[in-house]
Structure 1
Amino acid sequence: MGGDTAVKARTVFGVLRLSAAAICLVALIHRLAWGLASNTIASQNFFAYLTNQSNIAFVVLLTIAGILALRTAQDPRWLTVALALVLTWTITAGIVFAILVWQAGIRGIRIDVPWSDQVLHFWLPACTVAAWALAPGHRSVPWRVIPASLIYPVLWGIATLIRGPIIGWYPYYFLDPRQVSGPSEFVVSSAIALGTFAIVATMLVLISRMPLPPMLRQPPVEEASEAAPEPVRERVGQT
């Protein structure tokens, strides 16, 4: 009975993943159209934002994850790791965005937040993390994901610092030398951002290692594959 429930739950989560990918894609398209309508240099640099880059990757991975959930009993290890990395980036981008909007409000600066920004920065990452703990067939995330999650933000930051002076624009104020008090503020802000990435990655690793409710657990692999010449767990692990 528990195995049948797990299979049904796996199918439901597959559909939910595909739905989330579709919602994310629609939100990205709306955000692009909304930004282009404003005729600002920020809108012309839509693909330079870490949030948008990571959400594009999110759409691709959720689509793959949804298809695999409908066809297989377990996610391959690489997919679990990739989802953990992309979720780290999207969640942290949402936290940073929320702080920027809050600070702007305190200073009396108006920042318009369309529904697509709310979906990309807040609702979609929150719902995905909630599902992360309950998704049947998910794998535990290795601890090496934490340092690995910092590689992309660091490379993105370096590329942004090189590109910024050339076009005279930065996606976030704390990267712009004209808007910070000096090198110390830049270093502190960057360190806080990287620390947030590491904290979010750590939380995702811990969540992935939480035991599933009994009704969502897959039947023991050894029992389900007694007649198979090769254990299913090993095949999945090599994917």
Structure 2
Amino acid sequence: MKYAVAALRLAVSALMLVAMTRSFVHDATHGVDVWPWDWFGYFTNQNNLAAGFMLTVAAVGLMTGRRFRWLDYVRGAVTTYIVIVGGVFWTLLAPVTVVAIPWTNDVMHAVMPAYCLLDWLLVGDREPLAFSKLWVIFPYAVVWLGVTLVRGATDGWVPYPFMDPKTGYASVAMYCGAIVVIATVFALAFWGASRWRGAVLRQAVRRDRPAPVMHSQRIAS
């Protein structure tokens, strides 16, 4: 079973890379801005790549039986981000977005978020996450929001319409605040769900910790 799960993770990661490559090539050949600072500045692109990387690492860890405690926290954070990618797109952006290649859009905004969500909930190769370490979801999000807002105020580039300073900073702040709150709620849910051992591979976790030393007792002669 572990090899089947690992293969599925690798297949989904590969599908995401194919979809992103196809999207990049299409944009590059149709006059769309593909300057890396811009094209890879999208939260969607960054977190699809992050999710694909984490699925690959998780697949390798599953096959080798080697796991690291920090990996579960990073994976929990990335799962939070990619689910937000899907949620924000289908609630805020889909009605105002013209999709050039539907299948690549579906892979990046539906398949990846849905698979990462199900993988986190159903596969038991992760340990319970401590709520005291929920803070790990915030550094990346704060940096991404900060850089994006600075760029919007200086060179005018924004990845999404609701972050455009032209709509007013009150509106931008409202949306950014809502996303932070939603991310916190989702992360709390994923942290809580980590306490369930999953439906498959319940015994797949192997802690990266030294085995306890057994001290033998000296028996007086």
Pick aligned residue for 1:155 from 122, 143, 151: 143
Measured on the aligned residues, the alpha-carbon RMSD in Å equals: 2.5
Q: TM-score, normalised by structure 2?
A: 0.83
Tell whether 2:177 aligns with 1:191: yes
Measure how far apart 1:34 and its partner are: 2.3
- Give, in whole Å, the separation in 1 of the partners of 2:4 and 2:171: 47
Shift of 1:126: 0.6
- Which ranges in structure 1 are unaligned for 5 or more consecutive residues? 1-8, 105-109, 222-231
How many residue pairs get matched?
A: 208
1:217 aligned residue: 202
Alignment partners' CA distance in 1, 2:100 and 2:69: 36
Matched, 1:59 2:46: no
Q: Distance in 2 between matches of 1:183 and 1:119?
A: 32
Counterparts in 2 of 1:235 and 1:12: CA distance versus 1, 3 Å: farther
Give the CA deviation at 1:234.
2.8
CA contact (8 A) 2:125 2:202 kept: yes
Counterpart for residue 40 of structure 1 = 32
Deviations 1:128-157 (A, max 9, x none): 211222223321222245332122111111
Which residue among 120, 128, 143 is the counterpart of 1:132? 120
* CA displacement 1:15-54 (0-9 Å, x = unmatched): 122112211211221121222233134x442111011112
Gap change, CA 1:175 and 1:77, over 3 Å in 2: same
Residue 208 of structure 1 corresponds to which residue in structure 2? 194
Q: Deviations over 1:209-236 (max 9, x none)?
A: 11334x7432998xxxxxxxxxx66339
Tell whether 2:134 aligns with 1:142. no
Relative to the length of structure 1, the TM-score reads 0.77
Distance in 1 of aligned mates of 2:201 and 2:54: 22
CA contact (8 A) 1:24 1:55 kept: yes
1:55-108 CA deviation, whole Å, 9 max, x = no partner? 222222222211111110x6321111111111111111221111233442xxxx
Is the partner of 2:149 in helix, strand or coil?
helix
Q: Distance in 1 between matches of 2:187 and 2:29?
A: 35
Cα separation, 1, equivalents of 2:28 and 2:154: 21
Cα distance in 1 between the residues matched to 2:109 and 2:70: 25
- Determine the C-alpha separation between the residues in 2 that align with 1:143 and 1:118: 32
Given that 1:147 and 1:198 are in contact with CA atoms closer than 8 Å, whether structure 2 keeps it comes out as: no
Identical-pair percentage? 26
Q: Of 85, 98, 102, which residue of structure 2 is paired with 1:111?
A: 98
Q: Deviations over 1:138-197 (max 9, x none)?
A: 21222245332122111111111222344322001122111x1x3321221111111111
Is contact 2:62–2:204 with CA below 8 Å preserved after alignment?
no
Match for 1:67: what amino acid? V
Distance 1:97 1:38, change over 3 A: farther
Contact 2:86 2:109 in 1 (8 A): yes
Q: 1:219, 1:98 → 2: CA distance?
A: 34
1:211 counterpart letter in structure 2: R
| CA contact 1:10–1:136 (8 Å) conserved in 2 | no
Matched-pair contact (CA < 8 Å) for 2:16–2:108: yes
2:215 maps to which residue? none
Which 4+ runs in 1 deviate beyond 4 A? none
SS at the partner of 1:137?
coil
